[in-house]
Amino acid sequence: MPCWFFMSYTRVDDPVGEDGVRTFYDDLKAAVSARVQDQTPPLAYLDRENLKPGDSWPDELADALGSCRTFVAIMTARYFTREYCGKEWAIFEKRSRSPGGSVLPPLIIPVLWVRPVDGELPKFATDLQMTFDPNVIALEAERPLLAAYETYGLEHVMKRRNTSHANIYETILEQLAKRIIETAKAHPLPSLARSALLSLENAPNRFASAQPPIPGSGSAASRANFAFVAGTVQEMTGIRADAQKYYGPAGALDWMPYAPDEAEQIALIAQTAATGKRLIVNWLSTKAGLVDAIKQAEKENSVAIVIVDPWTARHPEYRPVLSQFDEFQFRNCVVLIPWNRSDAQTESARQLLRDDLRQSLSRSFDTRKDIYFRHDVLAQQLGAEISVALADLETLLAPYREPARAVESSQHKEPPQLNAAAG
C-alpha cells in the first residue's frame, strides 16, 4: 500500500539515543494517522523503522519511493551533501512530474530542521519549504514563537516542545499533517514497480549541482583520491553483529567508522579534510581495479588515501584486494586504519582484527614508515590525520610536478623515504 509520506534525512542529523528526526517522524505519523480513515500500514516510511538487518536496502528504498504519496525532506546543510539523499529526491521528483515533464506538483515538502550558520540552502529546496500560519494558534501571545521555526529550524522548536513551545510544535504537526493529506489527495500519484523506477545505483544526485565549487584547477594534481575498504550492510551482516549501525546501502561511502556514538559518514570526514586543503575529491572503487587506479594517480602525481575498516578486512571478497594492494609501496598513497574504542564489539575482538589486518597488510605493518601507514586512528584524530596525510603527500609529490603546486606545510620533521612502485 502507498504510504502517506516518505521521510528523507541524513542519519548524522539524528544521533542515536536523542530526541531528533526519529521522534519527529513518529509524531508526524501519529498526526497523519489521526486524520485519515485508512489505517493500512505502512502509513509512512523511514529507513530506520522499515528496514531490517539483511534487507536489500536499495530495493526496499526504491519500493518505498515508487509508492509513497509525498516526500518530506529534513533540511540541514549536511543533508544536501549526502549523495543518497540527492538520489532519493531525484527519483521522487522524476516520478512526480507530469508526462510532459514541465509540471512539478507540490508533493515534495521540505522542512527546515537546522538553519545553516554558514552559507545558504539550495533555492530549489527553499522555494518549496513548508511554512506555517501563526493565526491558527489560539493564544496571540504565542504566535511570535512560531518565528523560531523560520529563524532556527524545527529542531529548536522540538527541543522546547514540552515547555515554552508546546502549542507551537503541535501546530506544526497539525498543519504539516494536513498539508501531506490534502496535497496527496489533490495530486494522486500512481505507484510504480521497481522495474519502472530509476534505480538508486543509477539515479542522478539532485544535489550535485547545489554543491559549492571546490577551489582548484581541476587537474589531476589538485585531486585527492580516496578509497574506503568498507563493505555494504548486506556484505557485513554475516561478519559483525548489528551491521546496520555501521554500514549503509551505498557501500563504502556510507560507512560510519565510529558509530554508533559518532554517526559521521567516512565520505563527509574525508571530503571536509580535502576541502580544507583545496583539493577536489575523487572516490575510487575498492573492488574494481584499486591498484590500477592508484597506479594511475601516482603517474599523474595525484595524492591518494586508503582508509580500511578492520572488520571489512575479514571479508573474503576484500582480503585479496588488500593483499594485492600491499604488494605495492606507492609514493603517493597513505593507508589509515580507524579504531573505534567506544564500540565494545570492536574492542573485544581487537587481537583477532589486528591479526587479520597484519596478515592482509603484512608489508605495510612491517616496513612502511608511519608517514605512509597509520593504524589505531581514534575518532577525534581521523580528520586531522587525513589532513596531515594530504599535506605530507602534497609535499612529497611537489618535486615531480611541472609546474609545482603551492602546498601547505606538514608537521612531520623526519624526511620521508620514497619507495618506487614495485610488483
Lowest mean pLDDT segment, chosen from 37-41, 242-246, 407-411: 407-411
Domains of the chain (ranges; CATH) run 5-196 (3.40.50.10140), 213-400 (3.40.50)
The string of pLDDT tens digits covering residues 110-147 is: 999 998 877 788 988 988 988 887 777 767 777 788 88
Kindly tell me if the per-residue pLDDT of 260 is higher than 70: yes
pLDDT for the residue numbered 102: 56
pLDDT for the residue numbered 143: 76
Mean pLDDT of 267-293: 85
Cis, bond preceding 260 (omega within 30 deg of 0):
yes
List residues bridging with 374 in a β-sheet: 336
pTM, two decimal places? 0.54
Question: For all residues of the chain together, what is the average pLDDT?
Answer: 84
Show the CA angle centred on residue 27, arms to residues 124 and 73, nearest 5°.
Answer: 15
The string of pLDDT tens digits covering residues 8-30 is: 998 877 766 567 899 999 999 99
Give the closest residue to 219 by CA, choosing from 282, 269, 267.
282
pLDDT for the residue numbered 257: 94
Q: Provide the percentage of residues in the chain whose pLDDT is more than 90.
A: 42
Q: Is 263 helix (H, G, I), strand (E, B) or coil?
A: coil
| 165 phi/psi in degrees, rounded to 5 | -110, 25
- pLDDT-based confidence at residue 51 (cuts at 50, 70, 90): low
The string of pLDDT tens digits covering residues 192-230 is: 887 787 777 677 888 876 555 443 334 666 889 999 999
pLDDT for the residue numbered 409: 45
- pLDDT-based confidence at residue 421 (cuts at 50, 70, 90): very low
Kindly tell me if the per-residue pLDDT of 148 is higher than 90: no
- Residue matched to cell numbers 609545482: 404
The string of pLDDT tens digits covering residues 329-378 is: 899 999 999 999 999 999 999 999 999 999 999 988 887 777 899 989 99
Lowest mean pLDDT segment, chosen from 197-201, 230-234, 255-259, 413-417: 413-417
pLDDT for the residue numbered 204: 83
What is the side-by-side strand order in the sheet with 44-45?
44-45, 5-8, 71-75, 108-112
Q: Is 228 helix (H, G, I), strand (E, B) or coil?
A: strand
Mean pLDDT of 164-182: 92
